[in-house]
């Protein structure tokens, strides 16, 4: 089952988000990811597998910043992969995580594209 953690703090949120993901491990998942906003720039790391794989990646390339969002994904649609892991970005201006299946994604996608967002959403056959 997917899980979402977000944080805004007066200190680096990477460890807060990582701890939140660790507390969600009991739910089961196939990938984990994190995006942090720092000086107006979104930076993301995602990893296939356990939160420990994401933590190892963060050991070598940390995500400093005061606000961020993190996610564990259970693949109900689309294969487990780093590309399918959340957060998803649009032109490094928007980071999105969600739980469940977005049934009306086509109309949302069209509206966002008309507004200038670049999305890589694909319809996954049922």
Q: Mind giving me the DSSP string for 85-112?
A: SSPEEETTTEEE--SS--TTHHHHHHHH
Q: Is the pLDDT of residue 120 over 70?
A: no
Farthest-apart Cα atoms in the chain, separation? 44
**Average pLDDT over every residue of 5-22:** 96
Alpha helix (H) residue ranges in the chain: 14-23, 51-60, 105-114
Joined together, the tokens standing for residue 25 give: 């491990």
Q: Is the pLDDT of residue 109 over 90?
A: no
Joined together, the tokens standing for residue 10 give: 């007066």
Q: pLDDT digits over 40-53, tens only?
A: 999 999 999 999 99
**Average pLDDT over every residue of 34-38:** 95
Q: Is the pLDDT of residue 68 over 90?
A: yes
pTM of the complete model: 0.82
């Amino acid at each position: 089952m997917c899980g979402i953690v977000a944080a805004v703090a007066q200190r680096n949120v990477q460890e807060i988000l990582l701890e939140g993901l660790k507390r969600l491990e009991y739910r089961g998942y196939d990938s984990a990811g994190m995006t942090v906003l720092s000086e107006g720039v979104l930076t993301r790391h995602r990893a296939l597998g356990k939160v420990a794989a994401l933590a190892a990646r963060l050991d070598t390339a940390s995500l400093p910043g005061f606000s961020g969002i993190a996610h564990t994904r259970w693949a109900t649609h689309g294969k487990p992969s780093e590309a399918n892991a959340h957060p998803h970005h649009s032109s490094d201006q928007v980071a999105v995580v969600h739980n469940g299946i977005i049934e009306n994604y086509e109309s949302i996608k069209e509206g966002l594209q008309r507004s200038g967002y670049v999305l890589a959403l694909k319809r996954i056959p049922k």
